[in-house]
Structure 1
Amino acid sequence: MTLTDETISSDTRAEAGSWPQYRRVVLDWLINDTQRERFMDNIVVQMSERLVAAGVPVERVSVHFQTNHPQWRGGRLLWRAGLKEAEIDLYGYEVEKSQTFMMSPLKAIYDGANELRVDLEAPVADPAAEASLYADLRAEGLTEYVAWPLEHTLDKRHVITFSTGRPGGFADRHVEHLRDLLPAIALVSEIRVKNIMARTLLRTYVGPHASEEILAGATTRGSGATISAAIMICDLRDFTALSSLWPRDDVIGLLNNYFDALSEPIEEHGGEILKFMGDGLLAVFPLSVPSACTDMLAAIRKGRAAMAALNEASRANGHPELGYGVGVHLGDVMYGNIGSKTRLDFTVIGPAVNVASRLETLTKQVGRPVLLSKAFVERARCEDEVDPLGAFDLKGLEAPVDVAALKFD
């Protein structure tokens, strides 16, 4: 949506004629008309356009959020005059250690400043002593920069900034008008940030598909569905002995590197990791995707290459090499909530999962790292990529299972 003067009715303009009435157009919209807008970036764009239409000469608006994400420390939403969509940038935890951040206005706000108002037209005595952002803003032709905290619940601080290119910067009345909007912006943004955090935390701990199911209401014990999937169970070898021989931090680092090597290819090829089980993982590739089996094989091969590179680096650092076993099967599984009345786990269960688990255990006996059931091989049509090993009696299963080992170069 692009806001023009025509968006504000002629009756409203005739009645208003001054900022307080126009302010109600912006403020009332923030409080009453943004309920159906899920995304904060769209709100930032529409708010900025409404401010311009109301006579506040904003040319750049940014909102900076801190998040609870395993990879990203936070993000920035940025609107500039003329943009139809906000720019969205994410930044990692390492940014907070950088000299640029330490000298930035964001750091000052996070540390407790309640307002920063910077005259970008004023002479700079020592450019090396000021935030590099200000030089960038001058290069864009901006004349003043204002930053405030957005105060969320439990003293959680985020930041909003406004810049103008108006000669002489903002008038005092412009700054006053913007300041008046801060409580409403904080309220509107907190709801969206908490939604993002809830979605991010769920995706982090249960995976993307399971998180969407939970957010859609699958929160009661037993809720779920039966799906057909290729199932992959992976387990690290000799981890118990390794844990007792090496310092805790070294062990955790090795384990995280191992999970990175195997997990990233799984997610890259469309699989979903449902859980990490100590030094193992459970992943599924839904057979509703026609290429699910070949996608899983590609993920396994790429994971093996990543493990080889990891082991080479481990040897160079004096750390032990890591071995692992993978069991693969396919079939129908129950996908949903299982657990006690107050503690649930969103996972898959069923005979097909048990077969994959037994195949993973069998890798220790036969000395091959990846074992596939005949059912999977036939579905994947990968007979040329495997060595048939024959039928095996697996613990807990009534009938023998035909097993093949994946060949590697």
Structure 2
Amino acid sequence: MSSFLNKAGTAVEAGEGVWPVRRRRILDWLVNETRGERFIDNILVEMCEKLLASGVPVARATLHFRMNHPQWIGARILWKEGLAEAKINTFAYGIENTPEFLKSPVNAIHQGAEEVRKQLEDTADDEDSFYQELRDDGLTEYIAWPVEHTFGKRHVATFSTSRPGGFTNEHVDLLRDLLPALTLVSEIRLKNIMARTLLQTYVGPHASEQILSGVTTRGSGATVGAAIMICDLRDFTEISDLWPRDDVIHLLNDYFDAMSDPIERYGGEILKFMGDGLLAIFPLSKDTACHDLLQAIREGQALMAQLNQQYAGNGREPLRYGVGVHVGDVMYGNIGSRRRLDFTVIGPAVNVASRLETLTKEVKRPVLLSRAFVEMADCAKDMDSLGTFPLRGLGEPVDVFAFPER
């Protein structure tokens, strides 16, 4: 079939209109030429730029995704004309119950609407602040459509224009025809993000990267040097027997927040929660690993003190805990059965940290550190030396240090 150039210089197949050709080109790009792009926000930006180049006057576009994330219920990717990069906003749980969200077009789509279309040049009887913000940005029409992923997962795509009179029928038809391809492209990227998020949530950022890069066979891993921290809550069995279930869960979450947030803030990686305990490492590939671990413990102790003040105000007993710290080489990788693996660390160094944590019950000091650790951290002068202790299952006694008592 022969082709010709229209006034804009675009090649048009003989017998075809301009808009079908433009639609097909953007669809071909979405389906066939975005395979190398990992991130849906970059695809949204490039798609909008191609729409503008094709004569579709898009001035604003968004993608709204529901997420499986411990902190966020969803995220919005926002592009505006002239932006080289999209903006990403996350939204905490609870926003779905706010008046602003309940009357929003995004909620209307989630409730089953197949389209929300608003002519913004018509302001009669319209006091909605969201639409007024769009008007203030010079936009003249807004359209929202569902993006239907598999298993009934409904997300939202929106497009707005500043063209006087809004979109034409040709513009709307082209945008609507892009939705199936945009759905496929976005679902693949969203599932990649969800897989990464879930792995980071349950095994930590470094372990998740290892798993995603293919370290998935039993026994795979590496030997790494690390400062090791094991923390355990005292009297938890008694608490769980006496307290209501929901109060116990709330207590555990408060305790883990206090101890875990500083660990992550200072570059440590929490490998697992073990009932009322946790195992974390600070890889020695970072020069300040030992110092970072000490700072994390000090901040965790301060947060636990604040938490215990709150508990005292409610007539509850303070929470007590024990922390054992050691340093050494550990095997870091996949361990378990053929079908169920755990990405963790094992080795004599982990055993020493565990025995030190247990020893805190005997010596009545909440944090115990091995000589190997305090020498590497160069902090022996700042610690109390408690002497040498035999540790169960270990051949040689260990010189033990503690944080000074206040």
TM-score, normalisation: structure 1: 0.95
Tell me the distance in 2 between the aligned counterparts of 1:84 and 1:219: 37
For residues 59-112 of structure 1, what are the alpha-carbon distances to aligned partners after superposition, in whole Å with 9 as ceiling and x for unaligned? Answer: 000000010000011101000000000001101012111111011111110111
Match of 1:302 among 292, 299, 303: 299
- What is the Cα deviation at residue 407 of structure 1? 2.1
Q: 1:264 — aligned with what?
A: 261
Q: 1:230 — aligned with what?
A: 227
Q: 2:45 — aligned with what?
A: 45
Tell me the distance in 1 between the aligned counterparts of 2:88 and 2:286: 31
- What is the Cα deviation at residue 10 of structure 1? 5.6
Tell me the distance in 2 between the aligned counterparts of 1:169 and 1:204: 44
Q: 1:352 — aligned with what?
A: 349
Q: Any unmatched runs of 5+ in structure 2?
A: 1-7
Letter aligned with residue 332 of structure 1: D
Q: Any unmatched runs of 5+ in structure 1?
A: 1-8
Tell me the distance in 2 between the aligned counterparts of 1:182 and 1:126: 29
> Are 1:167 and 2:164 an aligned pair?
yes
Q: 1:157 — aligned with what?
A: 154
Secondary structure in structure 1 of the residue aligned to 2:35: coil
Tell me the distance in 1 between the aligned counterparts of 2:299 and 2:40: 37
For residues 18-45 of structure 1, what are the alpha-carbon distances to aligned partners after superposition, in whole Å with 9 as ceiling and x for unaligned? Answer: 1111112211000000000000110000
Match of 2:136 among 139, 148, 151: 139
Match of 1:362 among 359, 374, 378: 359
- What is the Cα deviation at residue 337 of structure 1? 0.4
Tell me the distance in 1 between the aligned counterparts of 2:343 and 2:283: 15
Letter aligned with residue 19 of structure 1: W
Q: 2:59 — aligned with what?
A: 59
Letter aligned with residue 377 of structure 2: A
Secondary structure in structure 1 of the residue aligned to 2:394: coil
- What is the Cα deviation at residue 172 of structure 1? 1.5
Tell me the distance in 1 between the aligned counterparts of 2:123 and 2:61: 24
Tell me the distance in 2 between the aligned counterparts of 1:124 and 1:223: 66
Q: 2:397 — aligned with what?
A: 400
> Are 1:81 and 2:78 an aligned pair?
no
RMSD between aligned residues: 1.3
Tell me the distance in 1 between the aligned counterparts of 2:132 and 2:54: 28
- What is the Cα deviation at residue 304 of structure 1? 0.3
- What is the Cα deviation at residue 12 of structure 1? 3.7
Tell me the distance in 2 between the aligned counterparts of 1:248 and 1:67: 28
Secondary structure in structure 2 of the residue aligned to 1:261: helix
Identity in percent:
65
Letter aligned with residue 389 of structure 1: L
Tell me the distance in 2 between the aligned counterparts of 1:293 and 1:124: 65
Question: In the alignment, is the contact (CA less than 8 A) between 2:13 and 2:21 conserved in 1?
Answer: no
Q: 1:121 — aligned with what?
A: 121
Letter aligned with residue 335 of structure 1: Y
Letter aligned with residue 48 of structure 1: C
* Structure 1 moving runs of 4+ over 4 Å: 13-17
Q: 2:332 — aligned with what?
A: 335
Match of 1:277 among 271, 274, 278: 274
Tell me the distance in 1 between the aligned counterparts of 2:77 and 2:315: 44
Tell me the distance in 2 between the aligned counterparts of 1:402 and 1:12: 80
Tell me the distance in 1 between the aligned counterparts of 2:392 and 2:244: 35
Q: 1:109 — aligned with what?
A: 109
Q: 1:292 — aligned with what?
A: 289
Tell me the distance in 2 between the aligned counterparts of 1:311 and 1:144: 55
Tell me the distance in 2 between the aligned counterparts of 1:164 and 1:384: 67
Q: 1:6 — aligned with what?
A: none
Letter aligned with residue 47 of structure 1: M
Letter aligned with residue 236 of structure 2: F
Tell me the distance in 2 between the aligned counterparts of 1:126 and 1:148: 21
Q: 1:26 — aligned with what?
A: 26
Letter aligned with residue 69 of structure 2: H
Q: 1:98 — aligned with what?
A: 98
Q: 2:71 — aligned with what?
A: 71
- What is the Cα deviation at residue 122 of structure 1? 1.1
- What is the Cα deviation at residue 133 of structure 1? 1.3
TM-score, normalisation: structure 2: 0.96
Q: 1:3 — aligned with what?
A: none
